[in-house]
Amino acid sequence: MLYSFNKKPHRMIPFFLILALFYFECKNSVEKKSSANTSITAKDSFRYDLNEPNTKFKLTKKLKEISGLTCYKDKWLFAVQDERGAMYRIDIKSGEIKDVIKFYGDGDFEGIASNDSIFYVIRADGVLFKINDWEKKKKIKSKKIKTHLGSINDTEGLAYDPVSNDLIIACKGSSAIGYEAHKSRSVYAYDLDSANFNITPVCTITRKKFKKFIKENFANNPEYKPYKKEIKEAKKSIIIKPSAIAVHPITKNYYILSAISNTLIVMDRSSNIKHIKRLSKKQFEQAEGIAFSTDGDLFISSEGLKKKARIYKFDYIPK
């Protein structure tokens, strides 16, 4: 016997209602769970306690003006300083200078990066130096590489980006090539594959984005209070002036230091601000260098003003 839907429609109504209720209940449950997970991820995405360094080194007078830092083979830290064309090889466990590798004369050298055994150093006027065969004990030769950046840009940050095989260069000064720009700060890239400089920034910090992030996250971050006054006093200018940059080995986000305003900014690869940390002035007199080990441990160097220069190590906190 065939079942007739027309004769007994009331028997199907409860069944459809049950299905509908079940569907919406599951949907709401999934959305709540997803929302909760998003909240947890956002809250815990910065996995360092910058108030408690796991290790810290006091540096000698040679590195009082330490200005750049990179990690090499998880065994050494290499640094440069403001006044001398030399790389300082530092034991990653003791902080002891093991070697000084001179590659050029005097100059304002600000950042250092490595790709395998090749090192690169950036000068404040935008000139890159490529250093090969640095382990040879004879005179080290370096190759100058011109970029489109100049003194107006005040190039201070340099890092190797394994995602794009680029050298990324953070500008403390003008964010634009050839003229002043006050409302933003930019990061440019030098393509190692093609040996070309990209005139389009790979990352930009704008005054508007920075101000918006501070406003939206102020309630949960009382240490952001000084920013409000600084932003107001800066009028139309941005208070961030990058002094160092590094690429996180796990998330691939950009970590940008600004000695002015004592700030660490984490940005994703679409120029979205993910985290802002106000650094302790007592701890970081002038944060000028940042680097990572391959497992995510963070190193920050600070110039010595009234105190000795220091390097701090912060262990990566896993999920």
Q: Which tens digit of pLDDT belongs to each residue from 30-39?
A: 333 333 332 2
Residue labelled with tokens 């190797």: 160
* Three-state DSSP class for residue 225: helix
- pLDDT, one tens digit per residue, over 119-159 is 999 999 999 999 998 987 667 889 999 999 999 999 999 99
Strand order in the sheet with 66-72: 66-72, 76-81, 84-91, 97-106
Q: What is the pLDDT of residue 140?
A: 85
**What was the pLDDT predicted at 45?**
73
Task: Tell me how far apart the alpha carbons of residues 311 and 302 are, in angstroms, rounded to a whole number.
Answer: 6
- What pLDDT is recorded for position 15? 46
- Is 1 a residue whose pLDDT tops 50? no
pTM: 0.85
Domain 51-314 is classified in which CATH homologous superfamily?
Answer: TolB, C-terminal domain (2.120.10.30)
The string of pLDDT tens digits covering residues 258-298 is 999 999 999 999 999 999 999 999 999 999 999 999 999 99
Which own/partner pairs from 129-137 qualify as long-range (CB within 8 Å, at least 24 positions apart)?
A: 129/85, 129/103, 129/104, 131/87, 131/101, 131/103, 134/87, 134/101, 134/103
* Beta strands 76-81 and 84-91, pairing class: antiparallel
- Give the separation between CA 173 and CA 180, rounded to whole angstroms: 8
Average pLDDT value for the chain: 88
pLDDT of 235 strictly over 70: yes
The better pLDDT of the pair 22, 199 is held by 199
| C-alpha atoms less than 13 angstroms from C-alpha of 257 in its C-beta half-sphere | 31
What's the pLDDT at 26? 43
User: What angle, rounded to 10 degrees, do the helices at 225-233 and 207-217 form?
Assistant: 150
255-274: b (≥16 Cβ within 10 Å) or e: bbbbbebbbbbbbeeebebb
Q: Is the pLDDT of residue 177 over 70?
A: yes
Predicted local distance difference test score (pLDDT) of residue 31:
39
For residue 7, the model assigns a pLDDT of 40
Give phi and psi for 6, each to the nearest 5.
-75, -35
